[in-house]
A and B are shown apart, each in its own frame.
Chain A
């Protein structure tokens, strides 16, 4: 399988001297659904800005499907669709016109552009709003409009910078399913998000960026195997006044009906339930305290912070 995106020693130093990227190497395979994660200010948006040519790189190379950013920027741009974090369309133009105009910038004749605009606006549930000015749309609709606009020239690589920020859970899930469909059709997708559950659900591979460096670049499955301890919350049927003694399972009572238990990966939870049953404690339901990826993400970023401080 060919490489969709290849970054080599990519650096960016802004005019104020801030070094946002300190030599990033990253490869994303064709057809991948890749998560690029990192805390605020880590360098995610700068990386995406360089890919979309809205930020000038300081040094390094960017290659998209064999097209070098310095040598053939137009060919690179044709392969790329970008959904930015901030709304960046005219507030006064109609939804349909925004998508058709964007197609025109890519040299797509007006009739074909109209057909594609109808296709993507319909798929994203915006066809009824085609004659509305974009300022009249809700936040979620504006995000979907940006996705339709990014798809109208049928890019091979779609980059989404926090596409579901501020979107309600129902809409977020419908966007997940739309993006999964696109990926199944062969479009390579790179996603940045603060919702780690989203990355875990959608992405096969993951890169974690922090302080302008890639601190992890692996498959989601591989990353999750690094998780040694999971924290579970047990909803108890009867109230408890004191914490039960559970051998090998550190536990604490959050309230009279909620018990927090840490379970090491090798232990499994069967032993925990055996001990609870022995003590006559009935469990109504069980859930993860935090998202698994979130625990890993926090530990990796903290580790990087400690190393940077040393």
Chain B
């Protein structure tokens, strides 16, 4: 194997190991809160309120919201893992350890994103296991389910990275999750089918990227979706490639890191 490639593979392993070790070390801040929050959602929305709502899309309300809740926790956690880790590296200047080393910018970006994907998947697994205490779950299409999980976690990890590059203080890393991600997630069909909305709101909802992800994932699990699965997957693929190239450009330019 080419020496340059071998060195970059070792560097990639190092970054991923460090990122995974970081979120495992602080598990009460990273893995426990989504578990507790999701249990509350299952109990309150799924069990108590859901019984009054009845079926949705041919499934019980609890079954209907489980894929959306798994997706919601994965989006939040993959994003926040990268934004907090990379901003913290900038804040403590430990990012300089990477910048002075011969690691390729691709490796730095892939390393951080893989860390975010690992946390997103770990939380998704925890939430899925917890959901089994409340409802039965079968996977309608495993390939689509796995692909949507990977693409979503990658996309939001990249988003977290871009946010961290631009952030100048800790307030800047909470603005997007609080004021953009949370509203888009709640309006992204986690708790309802957009067929319940008026035509105008249905059209407006189509511009919400999270709607595509939640529905694609729901298709993988339940086999039902408000969006055409091909459109949703294409959208995610294009968005991931575009965001990767943008994040890479920021990293190479050294924005906020090099003078």
**Chain A: residues with CB nearer than 8 A to chain B?**
14, 49, 52-56, 73-75, 77-78, 80, 82, 84, 86-93, 97, 101-102, 104-110, 149
Contact B102 A77 (CB under 8 A): yes
Q: A77-B100, A105-B103 are in contact. Are A89 and B94 (CB under 8 A)?
A: yes
Interface: B89 (CB within 8 A): yes
Contact B94 A107 (CB under 8 A): no
* Closest-CB distance, A124 to chain B (whole angstroms): 18
Q: A14-B259, A53-B100, A54-B100 are in contact. Are A104 and B94 (CB under 8 A)?
A: no
Interface: B98 (CB within 8 A): yes
Contact A73 B258 (CB under 8 A): no
Tell me which residues across on chain A come within 8 A of B51, comparing CB atoms. none
- Chain A residue at minimum C-beta to C-beta distance from B101: A105
A30-B101 Cα distance, complex, nearest whole Å: 21
Contact sample, A vs B, 14 pairs, CB 8 Å cutoff: A52-B96, A55-B259, A56-B258, A74-B4, A78-B102, A90-B88, A104-B11, A104-B13, A105-B14, A105-B98, A105-B101, A106-B101, A107-B7, A109-B10
Contact B14 A104 (CB under 8 A): yes
Tell me which residues across on chain A come within 8 A of B6, comparing CB atoms. 107
Tell me which residues across on chain B come within 8 A of A104, comparing CB atoms. 10-11, 13-15, 17
* Closest-CB distance, A28 to chain B (whole angstroms): 18
Q: Which one of A53, A84, A102 contacts B258 once the chains associate, using CB atoms below 8 Å? A: A53
- Chain B residue at minimum C-beta to C-beta distance from A51: B100
Contact A88 B94 (CB under 8 A): yes
B: interface residue count bin: 20 to 34
Which 3 A-B pairs have CB atoms at the shortest separation, nearest pair first?
A107-B7, A104-B14, A105-B101
Tell me which residues across on chain B come within 8 A of A108, comparing CB atoms. 10
Interface: B171 (CB within 8 A): no
A-B contact count (CB 8 A): 87
Instruction: Identify whether the interface residues of A are mostly helix, strand, loop, or mixed.
Output: loop
Tell me which residues across on chain B come within 8 A of A14, comparing CB atoms. 259
- Chain A residue at minimum C-beta to C-beta distance from B96: A88
**Chain B: residues with CB nearer than 8 A to chain A?**
3-4, 6-11, 13-15, 17-18, 21, 25, 88-89, 92-94, 96-104, 254, 257-259
A97-B17 Cα distance, complex, nearest whole Å: 11
Known A54-B100, A105-B102; further 18 A-B contacts with Cβ < 8 A = A14-B259, A54-B257, A54-B258, A56-B258, A74-B102, A88-B93, A88-B94, A89-B97, A101-B14, A101-B18, A102-B97, A104-B10, A104-B14, A105-B15, A106-B102, A107-B10, A107-B102, A108-B10
Tell me which residues across on chain A come within 8 A of B94, comparing CB atoms. 88-90
* Closest-CB distance, A274 to chain B (whole angstroms): 58
Contact B14 A88 (CB under 8 A): no
Tell me which residues across on chain A come within 8 A of B259, comparing CB atoms. 14, 49, 54-56
Tell me which residues across on chain A come within 8 A of B18, comparing CB atoms. 93, 97, 101
Residue among A54, A91, A102, A109 with max Cβ neighbours from chain B (10 Å): A54
* Closest-CB distance, A253 to chain B (whole angstroms): 51
Tell me which residues across on chain B come within 8 A of A75, comparing CB atoms. 102
Tell me which residues across on chain B come within 8 A of A90, comparing CB atoms. 88-89, 92, 94
Contact B14 A55 (CB under 8 A): no
- Chain A residue at minimum C-beta to C-beta distance from B95: A88
A70-B97 Cα distance, complex, nearest whole Å: 20
A89-B254 Cα distance, complex, nearest whole Å: 18
A84-B6 Cα distance, complex, nearest whole Å: 28
Q: A14-B259, A73-B102, A105-B103 are in contact. Are A54 and B11 (CB under 8 A)?
A: no
Tell me which residues across on chain B come within 8 A of A93, comparing CB atoms. 18
Q: A54-B259, A74-B4, A105-B98 are in contact. Are A86 and B13 (CB under 8 A)?
A: no
Tell me which residues across on chain B come within 8 A of A106, comparing CB atoms. 7, 11, 101-102
Tell me which residues across on chain B come within 8 A of A97, comparing CB atoms. 18, 21
Q: A53-B258, A88-B92 are in contact. Are A107 and B97 (CB under 8 A)?
A: no
A75-B7 Cα distance, complex, nearest whole Å: 12
A80-B14 Cα distance, complex, nearest whole Å: 20
A205-B6 Cα distance, complex, nearest whole Å: 38
- Chain A residue at minimum C-beta to C-beta distance from B97: A102
Tell me which residues across on chain B come within 8 A of A110, comparing CB atoms. 10, 13-14
A89-B97 Cα distance, complex, nearest whole Å: 7
* Closest-CB distance, A200 to chain B (whole angstroms): 29
Tell me which residues across on chain A come within 8 A of B13, comparing CB atoms. 104, 110
* Closest-CB distance, A293 to chain B (whole angstroms): 30
Contact A52 B100 (CB under 8 A): yes
Contact B100 A86 (CB under 8 A): no
- Chain A residue at minimum C-beta to C-beta distance from B100: A52
A82-B98 Cα distance, complex, nearest whole Å: 12
- Chain B residue at minimum C-beta to C-beta distance from A108: B10
Q: A56-B259, A78-B102 are in contact. Are A149 and B93 (CB under 8 A)?
A: no
Q: A88-B94, A89-B94, A101-B18 are in contact. Are A54 and B10 (CB under 8 A)?
A: no
Tell me which residues across on chain B come within 8 A of A105, comparing CB atoms. 11, 14-15, 97-98, 101-103
A109-B1 Cα distance, complex, nearest whole Å: 14
* Closest-CB distance, A160 to chain B (whole angstroms): 14
- Chain B residue at minimum C-beta to C-beta distance from A56: B258
- Chain A residue at minimum C-beta to C-beta distance from B104: A74
Tell me which residues across on chain A come within 8 A of B104, comparing CB atoms. 74
